[in-house]
Structure 1
Amino acid sequence: MSTHKIPESVLVVIYTAALDVLLLERADKAGFWQSVTGSKDTVNEAWQSTAIREVAEETGIDALQYDLQDWGLTNIYEIYPVWRHRYAPGVTKNTEHVFGLCVSSDVAIRLAPREHLQYLWLPWQEAADKCFSASNAEAILQLPKLIKV
């Protein structure tokens, strides 16, 4: 069994009806803020299953209790060199599938301490500005157009 990460991941933008967006600060790279992200556990794991699992692991939120939407966006990006050692030799690109998750403004957040140091809620434009990842920022900027009410 390979211990390498699969270069297929999800990005889940968690937001409220007021369009406040949840951001998490990475434990392995302080100052790097992002939405929920995570790789598939197996190549056959469905995108939606990965999104549900990663949201639960990183925030403690049960995505099945809320409105998880597949935004139909896929990004292919260069894996940051600092994280390439997690992937098989020669893997330099990752495919990321984007979801949105609308939650109540009083939802309880339980961080995974090995993954994230802290969280904050910001209005969507400010959240996009704070993200270190261009694809994450772009997904947040699409929020007003992508949400289905």
Structure 2
Amino acid sequence: MEQPRPHKIPQSVLVVIHTPALDVLLINRVEPALYWQSVTGAKDSEDESFEQTAIREVFEETGINCGGGTALHADLIDWGLENVYEIYPRWRSRYAPGVTHNTEHVFGLRVPEGTPVTLNPREHTAWQWLPWRAAADACFSPSNAEAILLLPEFSR
């Protein structure tokens, strides 16, 4: 007998992955189609830090390892921003009854040009690098687009 999935925690990360030239990695969701976005994902447990969530989600969704001890770890930057938004009705069943809003913590991750990307095929179907303004225009999520538009302010 299959165990019921635990409810998602309404705390997540948004990680804007970018090159020094400010090209942004966007990944296309499996469902719904043509939902381009940066890396996103919820905490696995209440005690998982936002940084741990960001490291885990980046690796799970793109194959890019930015964990402690890696060359990229220093380039994972907490932007100190949070977005609170209403969870789309199509995804509310993943959360506990009555949960309607999510708090999203924003990070940036600078990677070298040509960094290989390996998608998780259960979650995403395609990836592309776009100049930051074009990437913001391509995002389905308003909070994701707004974060990308802040990239020049937060990049080093």
- Map of 2:35 onto structure 1: 32
- What is the CA–CA distance in structure 2 between the aligned matches of 1:84 and 1:133, rounded to whole Å? 16
> Which residue of 88, 93, 105 corresponds with 2:96?
88
Q: What residue is the counterpart of 1:100 in the other structure? A: 108
Superposed displacement of residue 2, structure 1: 6.4
**Which residue, 13, 17, 29 being the options, matches 2:20?**
17
Give the TM-score taking structure 2 as reference length. Answer: 0.93
- Separation in 1, partners of 2:134, 2:5: 39
Partner of 2:49: 46
Q: Following the alignment from structure 2 to structure 1, what is the Cα–Cα distance between the partners of residues 93 and 113?
A: 37
Q: Distance in 2 between matches of 1:51 and 1:45?
A: 10
Structure 1 pair 2–119 and aligned structure 2 pair: CA distance change class (3 A): closer
Distance 1:124 1:17 in 2: 11
Match for residue 129 of structure 1 among 116, 137, 141: 137
Match of 2:126 in 1: 118
1:28, 1:3 → 2: CA distance?
Answer: 20
What residue number does 1:70 align with? 78
Q: CA deviation at 1:63?
A: 1.2
Aligned counterparts of 1:63 and 1:125: Cα–Cα separation in 2: 25
In the alignment, structure 1 segments of 5+ residues that lack a partner are none
* Alpha-carbon RMSD: 1.1
Output the CA distance in 2 between the equivalents of 1:114 and 1:43.
Answer: 24
Percent of aligned pairs sharing the same letter: 63
**Cα distance in 2 for residues equivalent to 1:124 and 1:112:** 23
What is the one-letter code of the residue matched to 2:101?
K
Report the 3-state secondary structure (helix = DSSP H, G, I; strand = E; otherwise coil) of the residue aligned with 1:63: coil
Letter in 1 for 2:91: W
Matched AA of 2:106: V
**What 5-or-longer segments of structure 2 have no aligned partner?**
none
Structure 1: 4+ residue segments shifted above 6 A: none
Give the aligned partner of residue 6 of structure 1. 9
Taking the aligned partners of 1:7 and 1:79, their CA distance within structure 2 comes to 9
1:44-94 deviations in Å (ceiling 9; x for gaps)? 100100000000000000013311000000000000011111101110000
Following superposition, the deviation at residue 28 of structure 1 comes to: 1.3
